[in-house]
């Protein structure tokens, strides 16, 4: 059995549910906070000049605890205390300049809001902005802000693309944290490397699914239009004909080049669509001639 398989089986164990009840986040009668406990483990490793301890078990416990609260319908009851412990732990980590500690707490927060955001009407992006960005609620002072940005930069090579999009958008127009623009540039470069959207116009709908790049989205749009063309007995979709008139610049400079280069199982349908558009005088002859020569 591989380590990954072992982790998967272990994550489903009822033992994790039991362990989560040891901590205040998931049992209000407990006095031990899991987030603070995790930071203390990191501090012990730092003080003894050893590598940071493996806290994968604590991550599984936290994730399991959040999931169980959601299943039992108790997430809206416990979320205020969970937010308080997360915010306190973030501040403690930044004050101590605890390298690695912030990453753990941010992961805890992502687990919490992944399971609870629908019920409580408050998501990870909201929490991140309130905790670090908004001037009226931020926990950061000038020094902590520098530590915060440095730590986020360090994490940028490892974070999920969707999380990078959330952090990047939250900090995109931030002026009250030093070097925020440097971090945004780093994230933008990383997102481009990953081939996903880097415009920071919107937050992703899911922490697990990033916003796709315009190129990927356009690829899907071309495929969809070809499918419509086939389903409608080779009649050009009205939306495309309208775009050829009212969004002429986009149609000529963006859509047609992507249509010409599109490859898929319905390549013959693509060619028929191109001929239909040419017949309707929607494709400039020079572009069409160039397409035929390169075909």
Asked if 14 and 71 touch (Cβ cutoff 8 Å), the reply is: no
Query: Largest alpha-carbon pair distance within the chain?
Result: 76
Is residue 3 scored above 50 in pLDDT?
no
Q: Coil, strand, or helix at residue 92?
A: helix
Top pLDDT among 18 and 79 is at 79
- In terms of DSSP H, where are the helices of 121-205? 124-128, 142-155, 161-172, 180-194
pLDDT band, very low/low/confident/very high, at 215 (cuts 50, 70, 90): low
Quick one: pLDDT at residue 12?
56
Question: Mean per-residue pLDDT for 196-217?
Answer: 83
CA distance 35 to 77: 18
pLDDT grade for 2, boundaries at 50, 70 and 90: very low
User: What pTM, to 2 d.p., does this model score?
Assistant: 0.69
Predicted pLDDT at 156: 93
| Rg, C-alpha atoms of the chain | 25
Q: Specify the range with the lowest mean pLDDT, choosing from 53-62, 208-217, 266-275, 280-289.
A: 208-217
3-state helix, strand, coil in the chain (%, to 5): 70, 0, 30
Q: Is 186 helix (H, G, I), strand (E, B) or coil?
A: helix
CB 125 within 8 A of CB 171: no
Query: What ranges do the domains of the chain cover?
Result: 3-122, 214-294
**Contacts of 177 by beta carbon, 8 Å cutoff, 6+ apart:** 132, 133, 140, 145, 148, 149, 171
203: helix, coil or strand?
A: coil
Give the list of residues 6+ apart from residue 45 with CB closer than 8 angstroms, or none: 51, 52, 53
The pLDDT tens digits of the residues spanning 129-163 come to 999 999 999 999 999 999 999 999 999 999 999 99
Number of CB atoms found within 10 A of residue 71's CB? 11
Q: Which residue has the higher pLDDT, 171 or 248?
A: 171
Whether the CB-CB separation of 47 and 67 falls below 8 Å is answered with: no
161 vs 138: CA distance, rounded Å = 24
Beta-carbon contacts of residue 292 (< 8 Å; ≥ 6 apart): none
Structure-model confidence comparison of residues 238 and 151, the more confident one: 151
């Amino acid at each position: 059995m591989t380590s990954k398989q072992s982790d998967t089986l272990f994550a489903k164990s009822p033992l994790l549910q039991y362990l989560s009840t040891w901590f205040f986040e998931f049992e209000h009668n407990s006095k031990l906070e899991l987030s603070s406990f995790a930071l203390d483990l990191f501090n012990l490793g730092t003080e003894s000049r050893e590598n940071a301890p493996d806290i994968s078990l604590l991550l599984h416990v936290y994730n399991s605890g959040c999931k169980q609260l959601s299943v039992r319908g108790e997430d809206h009851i416990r979320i205020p205390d969970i937010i308080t412990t997360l915010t306190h732990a973030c501040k403690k980590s930044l004050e101590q300049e605890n390298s690695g500690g912030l990453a753990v707490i941010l992961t805890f927060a992502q687990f919490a809001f992944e399971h609870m955001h629908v019920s409580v009407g408050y998501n990870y992006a909201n929490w991140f902005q309130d905790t670090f960005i908004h001037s009226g609620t931020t926990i950061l002072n000038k020094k902590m802000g520098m530590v915060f940005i440095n730590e986020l930069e360090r994490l940028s090579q490892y974070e999920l693309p969707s999380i990078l999009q959330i952090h990047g958008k939250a900090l995109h127009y931030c002026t009250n944290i030093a070097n925020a623009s440097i971090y945004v540039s780093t994230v933008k470069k990383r997102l481009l490397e990953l081939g996903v959207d880097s415009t920071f116009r919107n937050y992703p709908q899911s922490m697990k699914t990033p916003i796709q790049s315009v190129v990927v989205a356009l690829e899907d749009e071309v495929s969809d239009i070809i499918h419509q063309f086939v389903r409608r007995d080779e009649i050009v979709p009205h939306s495309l004909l309208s775009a050829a008139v009212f969004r002429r610049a986009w149609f000529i400079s963006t859509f047609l080049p992507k249509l010409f280069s599109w490859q898929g199982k319905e390549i013959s349908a693509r060619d028929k669509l191109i001929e239909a558009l040419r017949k309707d005088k929607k494709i400039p002859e020079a572009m069409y001639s160039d397409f035929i020569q390169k075909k």
